[in-house]
Amino acid sequence: MENNKRRKRAILMLEDGIKYEAYHFGAPVSSSGEIVFNTAMTGYTESITDPSYKGQILTYTYPLIGNYGIPFSSSCKESISKFYESDRIQISGLIISYYSNRPSHWNMRLSLSDWLYKNGVPGLYGIDTRYIAKKLRKMGGSMLGKILMNNDEDIPFYDPNQDNLSDQVSIHEKIIYGNGKYKILLVDFGLKNNILRCLLQRDCTIIRVPWNYDFTGEEYDGLVLSNGPGNPKIYEKPIHYIRLAMKKERPIFGICLGNQLLGIAAGGDTYKLQYAHRGHNQPVLSLKTGKSFITSQNHGYVLDAKNISKEWKIFFKNLNDDTCEGIIHDYKPFFSVQFHPEASSGPMDTEFLFDFFINSIVRSNTIK
């Protein structure tokens, strides 16, 4: 039953003390976290289950959310969900402008409100989310905030960037998927399921290991460093392992957080963006081919490649703010991208990078 029909009021409170009155849907609980905004028009199921949003209160600028409900949690091969990017809701709260309380879709199992309710996550609607987005942009792309069910209620603000979030969203034991030709070691910092799907479609055996796993003694054809949440500088142990892996000269492919960690391991640095990149419409330019692509992105930190060693080059750059969107080594099979080539949900413009990675494995094996 749609619990938002009672139109209960709740409060959004930002760290500057300003409060916004709104209507409540989802779970009737208070919550706190880092408020971020996303400009995508579709794909809320995928974003809500994306581990990169762990500890965050997600705000959608697109005004109509919930109109196609939530799909069945059916699985494809290897028990990987077809429609969810992890096994649970990852966000701490959801803020939207207008909630569509009469959703319809052939694959709908639940309404968005009922799904949030079942998972204990609150939502707010009736707020001018584009105004919130403008405010967040002025404050560096994010602010701490709270969703309060009662005006007199008080819970502490929570900054997820102070925690090791990968420890909360990564697996804790090794898992093996598939029985393909190429043996891929996948370090899980909070990966999206579509990375698994894309690799399995390319004849891979995937060895998925926890974020802090010492993989330096493992044998593999290629190493993938997944996306994940939080401040990249927290991950000192994995960065050490990546530096050791680079000495093997086996192909390495970093995605999102994996791009930042590979860049730090190569001598670079990271910083928090003034305007974070979250949405499906981020344009990037390949400096190798001169071609531009529209990409899916979700990150507040970015790689500063100024002090990276001269053997590395910028692979892609963002056409909105000229920030680094990926790096590639001159002659070793190492590269990474800041965006999501696996997308999910779209656009799929850069999925070819998985083929680029597999081809680097083929070349490396031929040389070996």
3-state secondary structure the chain: CCHHHHCCEEEEEECCCCEEEEEEEECCCCEEEEEEEECCCCCHHHHHCCHHHCCEEEEECCCEECCCCEECCCECHHHCECCCCCCCCCCCEEECCEECCCCCCCCEEECHHHHHHHCCCEEEECCCHHHHHHHHHHCCCCEEEEEECCCCCCCCCCCHHHCCCHHHHCCCCCEEECCCCEEEEEEECCCCHHHHHHHHCCCEEEEEEECCCCCCCCCCCEEEECCCCCCHHHCHHHHHHHHHHHCCCCCEEEECHHHHHHHHHCCCEEEEEEEEEEEEEEEEEECCCCCEEEEEEEEEEEEECCCCCCCEEEEEEECCCCCEEEEEECCCCEEEECCECCCCCCCCCCCHHHHHHHHHHHHHHHHC
Q: Is 198 a catalytic residue?
A: no
Do 211 and 166 form a contact (C-beta atoms < 8 A)?
yes
Name the catalytic one among 76, 198, 204, 256.
256
Catalytic center residues: 256
